[in-house]
């Protein structure tokens, strides 16, 4: 009886600890040169709209974060229209704006509904006119949804502001390392701790439906691949063979995992069917083969191998095809992550003493170094292919940095304390 009570109390403490979070801060370090001017007018409000960040503020911040937009500060606006009749296009043209977004929030019971319209200032054409609703406690989700729609209406590419990030923070607690696997919005807000351990947590990977994470945890004293259902918190060991169990990557149908195992002597890439646990060996070489990732077709895969003497990126058109080397530009190229268009593969690239993120155009073979920072790791491409997140160092701290996929704009997400690393950009979830 007493024991049960104790257990309940402990569980409660854990749950509470799970909701208290070390939020990431956002710091925009660099804007793109050709950012599109857009006026996001503060939305009119009818009824009891929850206090806190305004929807328009979140939308402005999302669009600025992408590096592709330059939102007009509200204090520079000459009027604050909330519907078409009140929009004086001449004023917005004078302010140099290309687009203007107006709208209104209405409280309906537990929900808040947003009616919003996007106009092209030059043609005075309405590009978007929609309503969307969300629980009143979830205004941020509503704001990210509006950002997604605006982004898509203007660029033709779906926005990725409603997607999630997974990452690992590391700090010291009572003299011991404290690793925490966390999931947050892409702007670092609403972080929630999913796993806490004194032992390393690595390589989080999103299932295609965004409901599960696979990752490597040392909690049992060695690297083991776990699958973690986010809604229930239920965890299962996917791979716990002797030696390495690492570098998990999901297939597009969510039914299998690519992984690196060394149970037969050295690091090789396998595919595990998750229902049957059956393994298919995909590489077979005395070299290190690891960091596999499916390409956009779901048939081919990229991986790292040091069969040429140092780590380089290789590609197999299918599981059985012979590997083709992709990178030649320097002695160290590793951890490939292809985008979903098949155009580019992103990876860690050593130049002189520094490690940068680079990408190779798969058609032309042209390689571009995207970052100027020097200890860059773990690139992860946004699901719309427009942005990239990676881990780097600022002074002694490890931080996450987001850049546009061509290396233009940047913002960083430092942890409020300690290190943050191993970012994984979640999928678009409809």
Residue 197 in contact with another protein, rule: CB under 8 A: no
Closest to another protein by CB, 89 vs 332, is 332
Strand partners, 249: 258
Q: Kindly provide the b/e burial profile for residues 137-162, where b requires at least 16 CB atoms within 10 angstroms of the residue's own CB.
A: ebbbbbbbbbbbbbbebbeeebbbbb
Residue 327 in contact with another protein, rule: CB under 8 A: no
Residue 350 in contact with another protein, rule: CB under 8 A: yes
Which of 288, 301, 405, 415 forms a contact with another protein (CB under 8 A)? 288
Residue 178 in contact with another protein, rule: CB under 8 A: no
- In the range 252-281, which residues lie near another protein by CB under 8 A? 260, 262, 265-267
**DSSP type of residue 24:** B
Residue 413 in contact with another protein, rule: CB under 8 A: no
Residues in the chain: 430
Q: Give CA–CA dist 156/299, Å, rounded.
A: 27
Taking only Cα atoms into account, the Rg of the chain, rounded to an integer number of angstroms, comes to: 23
Residue 377 in contact with another protein, rule: CB under 8 A: yes
How far CA 38 is from CA of 35, 128, 147, 199, 364, in Å, comes to 9, 14, 12, 46, 35
Residue 246 in contact with another protein, rule: CB under 8 A: yes
Residue 389 in contact with another protein, rule: CB under 8 A: no
**DSSP type of residue 74:** G
Is 423:390 a contact under the CB 8 Å cutoff? Answer: yes
Q: Give CA–CA dist 48/62, Å, rounded.
A: 24
Q: C-beta of 393: minimal distance to another protein in Å?
A: 8
Which of 60, 182, 290, 392 forms a contact with another protein (CB under 8 A)? 290
Residue 221 in contact with another protein, rule: CB under 8 A: yes
Which of 142, 422, 424, 427 forms a contact with another protein (CB under 8 A)? 422
Closest to another protein by CB, 260 vs 404, is 260
Q: Give CA–CA dist 17/14, Å, rounded.
A: 5
Task: List residues near another protein by CB under 8 A.
Answer: 200, 202-203, 218, 221-223, 243-244, 246-247, 260, 262, 265-267, 288, 290-291, 304, 306, 310-311, 332, 334-335, 348, 350, 353, 355, 375, 377-378, 393, 396, 422
């Amino acid at each position: 009886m007493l024991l049960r009570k104790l257990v309940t109390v402990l569980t409660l403490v854990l749950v509470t600890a799970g909701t208290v979070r070390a939020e990431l801060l956002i710091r925009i370090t660099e804007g793109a040169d050709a950012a599109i001017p857009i006026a996001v007018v503060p939305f009119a409000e009818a009824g009891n709209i929850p206090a806190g960040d305004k929807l328009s503020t979140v939308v402005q911040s999302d669009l600025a974060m992408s590096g592709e937009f330059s939102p007009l500060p509200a204090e520079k606006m000459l009027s604050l229209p909330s519907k078409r009749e009140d929009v004086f296009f001449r004023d917005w043209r004078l302010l140099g704006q290309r687009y203007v977004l107006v709208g209104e929030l209405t409280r309906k019971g537990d929900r808040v509904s947003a009616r919003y319209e996007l106009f092209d200032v030059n043609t005075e054409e309405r590009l978007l006119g929609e309503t969307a609703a969300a629980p009143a406690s979830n205004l941020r989700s509503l704001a990210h949804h509006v950002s997604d729609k605006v982004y898509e209406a203007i660029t033709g590419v779906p926005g990725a502001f409603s997607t999630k990030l997974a990452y690992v923070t590391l700090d010291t607690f009572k003299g011991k390392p404290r690793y925490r696997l966390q999931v947050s919005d892409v702007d670092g807000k609403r972080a929630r701790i999913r796993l806490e351990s004194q032992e390393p947590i690595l390589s989080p990977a999103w299932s295609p439906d965004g409901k599960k994470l696979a990752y490597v945890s040392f909690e049992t004293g060695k690297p083991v691949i776990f699958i973690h259902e986010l809604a229930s918190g239920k965890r299962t060991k996917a791979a716990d063979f002797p030696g390495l169990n690492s570098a998990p990557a999901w297939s597009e149908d969510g039914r299998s995992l690519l992984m690196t195992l060394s149970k037969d002597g050295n690091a090789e890439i396998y595919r595990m069917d998750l229902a049957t646990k059956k393994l298919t060996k995909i590489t077979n070489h005395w070299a290190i083969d690891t960091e596999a990732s499916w390409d956009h077709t779901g048939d081919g895969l990229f991986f790292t191998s040091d069969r040429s003497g140092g780590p380089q990126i290789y590609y197999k058109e299918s599981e059985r095809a012979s590997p083709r080397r992709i990178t030649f530009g320097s002695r160290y190229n590793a951890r490939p992550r292809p985008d979903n268009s098949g155009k580019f593969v992103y990876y860690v690239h050593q130049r002189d003493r520094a490690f940068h993120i680079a990408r190779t155009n798969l058609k032309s073979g042209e390689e571009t170094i995207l970052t100027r920072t020097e200890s860059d790791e773990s690139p992860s491409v946004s699901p719309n292919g427009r942005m990239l997140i990676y881990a780097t160092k600022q002074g002694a701290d490890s931080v996450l940095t987001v850049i546009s996929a061509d290396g233009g704009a940047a913002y960083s997400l430092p942890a409020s304390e300690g290190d943050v690393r191993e970012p994984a950009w979640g999928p678009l979830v409809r």
